[in-house]
Structure 1
């Protein structure tokens, strides 16, 4: 049997399988079942920058609308308990999960611009989050917004969150950076501790009968995994950030490939939404069987074996494999 304990963001995990951010974090019984089935940690769903800012602005509008109602209105303000602003309910949920689960619980923030909303990272830390996952979900849609300006804005967001807390921060990225290693190096310089590769962007379909967008969640498949494996394999040995694969992990072989590429852990969501917590038990068993048959006694022995860290010229190796693939498609 392979020892599945791993280390991620300074946290000791008994398994590399992590419940990724999803609606499952609203179901305590499901999370308990996931932990029993082998989950090593849980990532909560995200607090969005827009949500936090809108709640703040709504509170101001509520108060300002009553400022000049009558002569005495300037000295009257509603009690703050009338409505809740910010992260209160989220933090209470986080505290509940910390009490109920015996694995690390990671808070999650989703933002695209530096600003006052990043102070809520402190609220998550105070509520017991053992780390924070910062989700950089930012699609370029403005032709004047260059790749460099977008990346610098994102690095400013990471830096502002890192500066707010003493707990580790991991950054969840998209696969659409033209120079991913350079951007990851920039993240490392902010003081962040890890990266999650990759976010699955919202991709709406079209309903031609109704001439409107079709907003349906499409679960991932193992076919999405190679993009993640390639990125981790390239980055391994070039960064001190701990890497996690997210997206496309549905089998034990998928998880084993991620570890062999250089990942410290893997996040699972779609398999759980499709099969329930039993998926974690199955993936754990399959991964252990595969790594044991390969002769690895621990994840540390297997990690990075199939990375590109030992390739003398990664760029030349990549182009050679590309040419071979095109010439040998039959």
Structure 2
């Protein structure tokens, strides 16, 4: 059997399979079952800065606009600052999960401003988070906002968070950077310890009958995995950051591919939402069997074995293979 213990972001994990950020955070029994099935760590769902700000502003506006309606209002309307608003419920959930689970619990932060990111990052550290997963998702809606200015703004966010906390910070990236290795070098220089590749963004569709945007969450399939494999294989040995694969892992073979591409850990979400915690036990068994069959004694031996530097046909990761694939597809029609 292959030894599945690993070390990620300075944390000792019993397994490279991690419960990724998802609604499962709100289901303690499901998380306990995942840990019992072999999960190495749990990532909480994201704390969204803009949602907190909106909730705070709405509550303040509601209470403060009514407290001076008449002379008796103050007798039954408390001041707005007596209510628990902000990250309090998230921090309580973090505390609960830490007490109930015997694996590291990583907090997830998704913010929009340097000040907001750093404030909430400090709160998460003070609450005992083992690490922080920092989501970078900054839409360029202004035509004057160039890729360079957007990336510089994101790197400043990473730097500001890293400077404010002592726990490890892992950065969850989109797949849309035109020069991913260069941006990753900037993330590393900013002090991050890890990468998560890649974020799956909410993309509203259209309801043509109702003539409005539809809000449906589409779960991943393993058809999304090759994009992650390519990114990790390209970055392995070209960055000191540890990498987590996120998106498209539904089997032990999928997890094996991620590790062979360079992943330290593999995050699972959609497979768990579809199949339940039993998916984690199944994938753990399949991963161990596949790695054992391939002759790997531990994860370190397997990690990056098919990366850009180590693959026997490394050119398959590069652009030349694209032309060959297209030519081959045309020739069989």
Which TM-score tier does this pair reach, normalised by the shorter chain? Answer: over 0.9
Q: Tell me, yes or no, if the aligned pair for 1:130 and 1:167 is still in contact at 8 Å.
A: yes
How far, CA to CA, are the matches of 1:268 and 1:243 in structure 2? 14
Q: Could you say which residue in structure 1 is the equivalent of 2:200?
A: 200
Q: Which moved more, 1:139-148 or 1:182-191?
A: 139-148
Q: Tell me, yes or no, if the aligned pair for 2:304 and 2:310 is still in contact at 8 Å.
A: no
Q: Could you say which residue in structure 1 is the equivalent of 2:304?
A: 304
TM-score, length of structure 2 as denominator length: 0.91
**Structure 1 residue 54 and structure 2 residue 54: aligned?**
yes
Change (3 A) 1:242 1:57: same
Q: Which deviations, in whole Å up to 9, do the C-alpha atoms of 1:55-79 show, x marking residues without a partner?
A: 44446546764798799x9xxx955
CA-based RMSD of the aligned residues comes to: 2.6
- Alpha-carbon offset, residue 96 of structure 1: 0.5
**Correspondences of 1:240-255 after superposition (within 5 Å):** 240-255=240-255
Q: Which moved more, 1:210-219 or 1:51-60?
A: 51-60
Q: Could you say which residue in structure 2 is the equivalent of 1:135?
A: 135
Alignment gaps of 5+ in structure 2:
none
Q: Tell me, yes or no, if the aligned pair for 1:255 and 1:266 is still in contact at 8 Å.
A: yes
- Alpha-carbon offset, residue 118 of structure 1: 2.3
How far, CA to CA, are the matches of 2:254 and 2:17 in structure 1? 11
Change (3 A) 1:316 1:280: closer
Q: Tell me, yes or no, if the aligned pair for 2:44 and 2:106 is still in contact at 8 Å.
A: yes
**Structure 1 residue 327 and structure 2 residue 327: aligned?**
yes
Q: Tell me, yes or no, if the aligned pair for 2:234 and 2:317 is still in contact at 8 Å.
A: no
Q: How many residues align?
A: 328
- Alpha-carbon offset, residue 21 of structure 1: 0.4
How far, CA to CA, are the matches of 1:38 and 1:53 in structure 2? 37
Q: Which deviations, in whole Å up to 9, do the C-alpha atoms of 1:281-317 show, x marking residues without a partner?
A: 1111111111100000100000000001247997896
**Structure 1 residue 188 and structure 2 residue 192: aligned?**
no
Q: What secondary structure does 1:328 align onto?
A: helix
How far, CA to CA, are the matches of 2:82 and 2:312 in structure 1? 64
How far, CA to CA, are the matches of 2:311 and 2:223 in structure 1? 25
Q: Tell me, yes or no, if the aligned pair for 1:112 and 1:153 is still in contact at 8 Å.
A: no
- Alpha-carbon offset, residue 85 of structure 1: 2.3
How far, CA to CA, are the matches of 2:310 and 2:39 in structure 1? 31
Q: Tell me, yes or no, if the aligned pair for 2:117 and 2:161 is still in contact at 8 Å.
A: no
Q: Could you say which residue in structure 2 is the equivalent of 1:28?
A: 28
- Alpha-carbon offset, residue 53 of structure 1: 2.5
Q: Tell me, yes or no, if the aligned pair for 1:272 and 1:280 is still in contact at 8 Å.
A: yes
Q: Could you say which residue in structure 2 is the equivalent of 1:289?
A: 289
TM-score, length of structure 1 as denominator length: 0.92
Q: Which deviations, in whole Å up to 9, do the C-alpha atoms of 1:102-127 show, x marking residues without a partner?
A: 00000010023312442111111111
How far, CA to CA, are the matches of 2:213 and 2:230 in structure 1? 32
Change (3 A) 1:213 1:79: closer
Q: Tell me, yes or no, if the aligned pair for 1:252 and 1:285 is still in contact at 8 Å.
A: yes
Alignment gaps of 5+ in structure 1:
none
Q: Tell me, yes or no, if the aligned pair for 1:113 and 1:154 is still in contact at 8 Å.
A: no
Q: Tell me, yes or no, if the aligned pair for 1:39 and 1:280 is still in contact at 8 Å.
A: yes
- Alpha-carbon offset, residue 321 of structure 1: 1.4
**Correspondences of 1:1-330 after superposition (within 5 Å):** 1-58=1-58, 61=61, 65=65, 78=78, 82-310=82-310, 318-329=318-329, 330=332
- Alpha-carbon offset, residue 320 of structure 1: 2.3
How far, CA to CA, are the matches of 2:153 and 2:312 in structure 1? 34
- Alpha-carbon offset, residue 203 of structure 1: 1.6
